Amino acid sequence: MKATVHVMLKTGVLDPQGDAVRHALGALGFEGVNGVRQGKVIELDLADGATEADVNAMCEKLLANTVIESYRVDMS
Amino acid sequence: MKAAVVVFPGSNCDRDLAVAFRAAGADVTMVWHKDTDLPEGVDIVGVPGGFSFGDYLRCGAIAANSPVCQAVKAHADRGGYVLGVCNGFQVLTETGILPGALLRNAGLKYICKTVGLKVETSQSVYTERYNAGDVIDIPIAHHDGNYFADQSTLDALAGEDRIAFSYTDNPNGSLRDIAGILSENRRVLGMMPHPERAADMGHGGTDGQALFRAVAGQLTSA
């Protein structure tokens, strides 16, 4: 089974990379982009029986730094 | 005084840190990241700068979960001294030994230059040979040195006199210009600037020397 983890910087945490992407889009003529936030997607290939709770524990311990990041887990 | 310097794959300031400790009179042992124990009788652990594990996932995240870091955490928990420099500071925040996190520099660029640091407190084994308010010149070399913590943590750091160093001209966007912080018991120091790169005449500056001498002096007489 697979799990997909989306990790994003929390609201209120400055995202200079997202901001740089926003500027670059503006420079390319894409108007009306008010904000860009950049995160990461982590795909996990899991043994059968793994639960969302297991993946949440992985996020808390390693995959996300909850001081600055939030995460969302999608099991499939 | 016995010091141990941790070596991760990708550490690149480990030997510089060892040289600075030795020059101050310490007996230094290098410790590999897979070691589960620190050498007997270690007073202080140095967590060096570099790019541990290629900065994969987040700077310091993989290193923070390595076997040796469990030993470093246990050392800190029982009141041992720990100095984390640059990537070492990132590792200490990732382990939770120090609060907050280091984000990408606000200007997105890797910055390598000598900066002015204001000594915010002389009340620690690391800073006792400086005077609060002194401005010292220490090099920085980092891409992710932008200190972040929530408001209450920042207030606690300031209120408890745990900000060790601040930038005189903030290069990276760090909140409250923070360059280095102390743990609650004041025995763990994490800082982005490199005092070990300003500890010998050959470095072009010796403003970092007092830090190592103070540590060696204190922990030898202890």
ipTM, two decimals: 0.88
Q: How many CB atoms lie within 10 A of CB A65?
A: 25
Task: Say if residue B23 is exposed, middle or buried (CB neighbours under 10 Å; 0-12, 13-18, 19+).
Answer: middle
Count CA within 13 A, CB hemisphere, residue B183.
22
3-state SS record for B128-194: CCCCCCCEEEEEEEECCCEEECCHHHHHHHHHCCCEEEEECCCCCCCHHHEEEEECCCCCEEEECCC
The residue of A67, A69, A70 whose CB has the most chain B CBs within 10 angstroms, and thus the best one to mutate to test that interface, is: A67
Give the domain range for residue B183: 2-221
CATH number of the domain to which B19 belongs = 3.40.50.880
Q: Does B93 touch chain A (CB under 8 A)?
A: yes
The pLDDT tens digits along chain B (222 residues) read: 999 999 999 999 999 999 999 999 999 999 999 999 999 999 999 999 999 999 999 999 999 999 999 999 999 999 999 999 999 999 999 999 999 999 999 999 999 999 999 999 999 999 999 999 999 999 999 999 999 999 999 999 999 999 999 999 999 999 999 999 999 999 999 999 999 999 999 999 999 999 999 999 988 865
Q: What is the pTM of this model?
A: 0.95
Nearest to B179 by CA among B59, B89, B60: B89
Nearest to B61 among A13, A17, A65 (CB): A65
In this structure, chain B runs to a length of 222
CATH code of A2-75, in short, is 3.30.1280.10
B194 is catalytic: yes
B114: left (phi over 0), alpha (psi -120 to 50) or beta: beta
The total domain count for chain B is 1
Interchain proximity A14–B57, CB inside 8 Å: no
Q: Hey, where are the domains in chain A?
A: 2-75
To the query of whether residue B184 is one of the catalytic residues in this protein, the response is: no
